[in-house]
Structure 1
Amino acid sequence: MSSPFLDLDGNPINGDEILGYGRAGLVVLRENIAVKMPLRYRSSQDSDVETNREVLQHEKEVYQRLGQCEGVVPCNGFSETTIQLSFMANGDLRAYLNRNRPSRSLQLSWFQDMALTLARIHDRRVIVADIASRNFLLSDDLSIKFCDFTESSILHPDTDMENFNDNGYSIQTDIGQLGAVIYEVVTGKRCDFDLFKDQSSTISEPTWPRRESLPNVKDIWLGPIIDKCWTEGFFKNAEDVAKALDAITSQSLYLDDISKIPPEKESQSQYSNTPSAYNISMRHMVALSVVVGIITLYTTWVSRRR
């Protein structure tokens, strides 16, 4: 099948090979490896292709800084004009959500992995800057991986990440964008944490979006955590987000059963995942009564035998 793309030598690229493409890069499947190359249309100008080469070169440098970072799509090598990545069989998260409705337990495991991986990325002094559902990939076992670092910033190894701002981008804007991904997965509705919303064309520096420009999360699962991601500075770093999600896990006994509760009932508790203390206590009392009854019957039987 033909496609509108060419490789850098001017050869047509078969449409069946194409895994995806973005603003500056094209990803094709070759020998079970995802090969990312500069985007080139049949109609592209040489200057456009050169710009895309520079963008890809920058992304190579990001992957080199990250190394073998757990939670990032493994990078298997480079050529002068390509990045070779491990093939992720289930594609990108956004496309997966269009076809499937994952269980809450799977969602929560994704969110924990996202937050922990983001903390690792920040530890390597990289700001992602473009965290979106289309930029997460799913492997054959549905584990989730960060990909696409074309917009990322590589900072000095001694940078104080919690206080550093790179022309409007910071670990806080990464956390805000992560909150938008969590919202999209939980609700099935897309949400852009738009750092350029309502700005005039003369302003180019990203700014924190107004809260009223973001969705209401009052009655949705994990709404409090999403809202805190959208409150600049509430989470000091991505590790704090992971800890908040860990707290949800420790409280959640029946995630998939809870997902069947109507929203109006679900919203009565903060996280809507934990059976009430009253119900748990009643179960313990019933169990204790049964045990005491059995002991009493056994004691009576023994006495009569004697």
Structure 2
Amino acid sequence: MTSTGMSCLILADGTYVDSNKIMGSGLDGYIVRDPGASIVMKIPKLFVELFRACHARRVLVFDIALRNLMLADNLSIRAIDFANGSLLPLSGDEKLVDSRGYTADVDILHVTNVIYSIACWKKFQVDCVAINEWPAAETLPSTADLPLGQVIVESWSHQFKSLDELKRAIMSAASHTPAIPRDGDHTIQKPVFLSAPLPALLC
């Protein structure tokens, strides 16, 4: 599952970056330094809300990964690459499941993997397209001492049935997380231009 048509990024300082030489062509490629705890706690809330809105409109996204998340200067987030997603009938059953057997639960898994990536500032993903491919607990990395670590573990353990529940858990954890002093400046290199066609469907 790769994003196509994206060859070059122009960063805020005018630097041209070959997307084939960085971690990916989305949010994973923009992370250049540890941003500090405040950003680590803020970004997950934003993109959980993004995908929660997709589910509310009965859209299963499927390709949820750092490479498909675009971060703007104001830290707002956009998702791209809905090529493998599913738009389900608005009048359908409340449960989100498409003809391939892909479900909202698997979207939640991949959202959680992105949360983990942001918490430890390192790309992480698993291959899972159906509930019976859910990774075993012993194959998943430790979340000890990570921001939102307990929330991540609970999500990997199927304890959240919707992104609404995951969002509430993140909000609760964030409200109990003390501010952490930062040494020096911590920045994110953010794009101001993408030389790439974007899919028509955006959330």
TM-score under structure 1 length normalisation: 0.49
Match of 1:119 in 2: 52
Aligned to 2:193: none
Q: Which residue of 1 aligns with 2:165?
A: 240
Instruction: Kindly name which structure, 1 or 2, has the bigger radius of gyration based on alpha carbons.
Output: 1
How many Å apart are 1:219 and its aligned residue?
3.5
Q: Which residue of 2 aligns with 1:134?
A: 67
Three-state SS of the structure 1 residue aligned to 2:74 is: coil
Structure 2 partner of 1:4: none
Which residue is equivalent to 2:113? 180
Distance 1:205 1:226 in 2: 17
> Per the alignment, do residues 119 and 161 of structure 1 end up closer, same or farther by CA in structure 2, a change over 3 Å counting?
farther
Preserved contact between residue 3 and residue 68 of structure 2 (Cα < 8 Å): no
> Residues 135-163 of structure 1: CA distance to partner in whole angstroms, max 9, x if unpaired?
11011222222221111111111233446
Q: Distance in 1 between matches of 2:99 and 2:150?
A: 28
Q: Which one of 218, 221, 224 corresponds to residue 144 of structure 2?
A: 218
Task: Identify if the C-alpha distance between structure 1 residues 215 and 205 changes in structure 2 by more than 3 Å, giving closer, same or farther.
Answer: closer
2:4 alignment partner AA: G
Distance 2:132 2:4 in 1: 23
Gaps of 5+ in 2: 9-24, 184-203
Residue aligning to 1:39: none
> What is the alpha-carbon distance in structure 2 between the residues aligned to residue 253 and residue 218 of structure 1?
17
CA distance in 2, matches of 1:145, 1:135: 8
- TM-score, normalised to structure 2, is 0.72
How far apart are the structure 2 equivalents of 1:161 and 1:147?
25
Distance 2:61 2:138 in 1: 25
Alignment of 1:39-188 (within 5 A): 92-97=26-31, 99-162=32-95, 164=97, 166-188=99-121
Contact 2:109 2:156 in 1 (8 A): yes
Deviations 1:23-63 (A, max 9, x none): 4731479xxxxxxxxxxxxxxxxxxxxxxxxxxxxxxxxxx
Cα distance in 1 between the residues matched to 2:131 and 2:106: 13
**2:13 matched to which residue of 1?**
none
Residue 133 of structure 2 corresponds to 207
Structure 1 gaps of 5+ residues are 1-21, 30-90, 197-203, 261-306
Match of residue 4 from structure 2: 25
Structure number with greater CO (CA < 8 Å, separation at least 6) is 2
Q: Do the aligned partners of residues 187 and 156 (structure 1) sit closer, same or farther apart at CA in structure 2, a change above 3 Å counting?
A: same
Q: Secondary structure at the match of 2:106?
A: helix
User: Larger % of helix: which?
Assistant: 1
1:279 is matched with none
Aligned residues: 167
